[in-house]
Amino acid sequence: MHDAPAQNEPKLPDSKPSAWREVVDNPWVVLALLFLVMGFLGLPILWASRGFSRRAKVWLSLVVIVYTLALIGCTGAVLWWSYQSISKSFAPFRT
């Protein structure tokens, strides 16, 4: 009878990590995804990455959350300013 391989069995030396794993473990790619593309939606990728220590992941998570909320707040402020400007320009046409 053939036994199932142990879960902690080391990888064979000729096995290569998947392309996904190489991308996720690259700290620069993860930082670019977090700050330029995904914001806080990219936090699962950060936590799946082996390119950062646990302490770095905690700090980066906090920074990314604050950064994303600031971007959302700025977007809301621009939208509100735009709405106010458009409303003022149509004020003479109101009855």
Evaluate if residue 5 carries a pLDDT over 80: no
Would you state the pLDDT for residue 95? 61
The whole-model pTM stands at 0.71
Select the more confidently predicted residue: 91 or 95.
91
**41 has a pLDDT exceeding 90:** yes
pLDDT attached to residue 78:
98
Out of 35-44, 59-68, 85-94, least confident range:
85-94
- HSE-CB at 56 with a 13 A cutoff on CA atoms is 11
Take residue 42 and report the two structure tokens written for it.
């990219």
**Residue 92 vs residue 74, higher pLDDT:** 74
Could you tell me the residue ranges of all domains in the chain? Answer: 19-90
Q: What Cα–Cα distance (Å) separates residue 38 from each residue in 32, 34, 73?
A: 9, 5, 16
